[in-house]
Structure 1
Amino acid sequence: MTKKLITILIVSMLVLTACAKKESATTSTKSGKPLIVIYGDYKCPYCKELDEKVMPKLRKHYIDNHKAEYQFVNLAFLGKDSIVGSRASHAVLMYAPKSFLDFQKQLFAAQQDENKEWLTEAVLDKQIKNLHLDKKTENKIIKDYKSKDSKSWKAAEKDKKIAEDNHIKTTPTAFINGEKVEDPYDYENYEKLLKDKIK
């Protein structure tokens, strides 16, 4: 009986630890600042709409001035090329984090038909070069996203797992500190949640 009770307690602790780890990935930040999480895909036309309508305001009022942190979780579910785009964006985030949002904006601006495979290495290389980084950083990004089992490949797979664990089925879906943003195309909905969470 005692062994059974100990086993139940250990299992419960493991489950709670796993839940805490999952939560920390998308609902909180080390800095204590609000975390804006957007689940999307660079081939999703609705995600492009959000990027054009909402992101400029979020950047101006919260992200660029460091009042909040931002995380893009890429579902990479709209074709084989989606995952390639996800890897490239993770490589940019790793080696040139200050250019990540500009890269994201460029990819959405270059968006074509979601049913066609247009997010190719040629397109991605061009957009990476358009960031005007130093040659060493540029080469690191390109090498990493094209190398199997690299950090960016693993990060892209992790994104898909986060989306799966959080039961995300549609894009875009947005959260602030784990609280879902109703109608992610309306900036005011972000504003209401963020104002409550800014210390």
Structure 2
Amino acid sequence: LASESVYKQDPDAFWDFHKALYDAQPASQQHDEAWVTVERLTEIASETTSVDVAKLEDDLSENSTVLEQVSLDDGLVKEHGVQFTPSIMINGVMLEDPFDYETIERLIEQGTP
């Protein structure tokens, strides 16, 4: 939700926020401890972006329009059986190797099956 909100408000800062969020994760031995809070997300966002923090907090609520977008994305993941990131689907074909340029090129050139 936070990433979607940051992207929506300040697309140019998305990757800075993304990197800071990953950098803020606890050490591996404490990785399962709860650490993602609204306060921590807004702190990271205020350090790395120019987003409206009040809007970000609103976007993290259960009634936000951002939640609708995340739910839509989650539905697409389930509908298409996406199991890993990155994943590439071209013309209805899920690539086993998302870095196989020749297959990507061939599927694009073939067009819609």
Structure 1 length as normaliser, TM-score? Answer: 0.42
Question: How many residues of Structure 1 are paired with residues of Structure 2 in the alignment?
Answer: 101
Displacement, 1:122?
A: 2.1
1:91 maps to 5
After superposition, residues 5-154 of structure 1 pair within 5 angstroms as: 87-112=1-26, 113-133=30-50, 137-145=52-60, 147-154=61-68
Displacement, 1:181?
A: 5.5
Displacement, 1:130?
A: 1.2
Give structure 2 stretches of 5+ with no counterpart. 109-113
After superposition, residues 169-188 of structure 1 pair within 5 angstroms as: 169=83, 171-175=84-88, 177=90, 179-180=94-95, 182=97
The root-mean-square deviation of aligned C-alpha atoms, in Å, is 2.8
2:111 maps to none
Q: Larger strand proportion, structure 1 or 2?
A: 1
Give structure 1 stretches of 5+ with no counterpart. 1-86
Corresponding residue SS for 1:130: helix
- Give the percent of matched residue pairs that are identical in Structure 1 and Structure 2: 20
The structure with the largest alpha-carbon Rg is 1
Displacement, 1:154?
A: 1.2
Structure 1 residues 107, 176: CA separation in 2 closer, same or farther (over 3 Å shift)? farther
The structure, 1 or 2, with the larger RCO (C-alpha pairs under 8 Å, 6+ apart) is 1
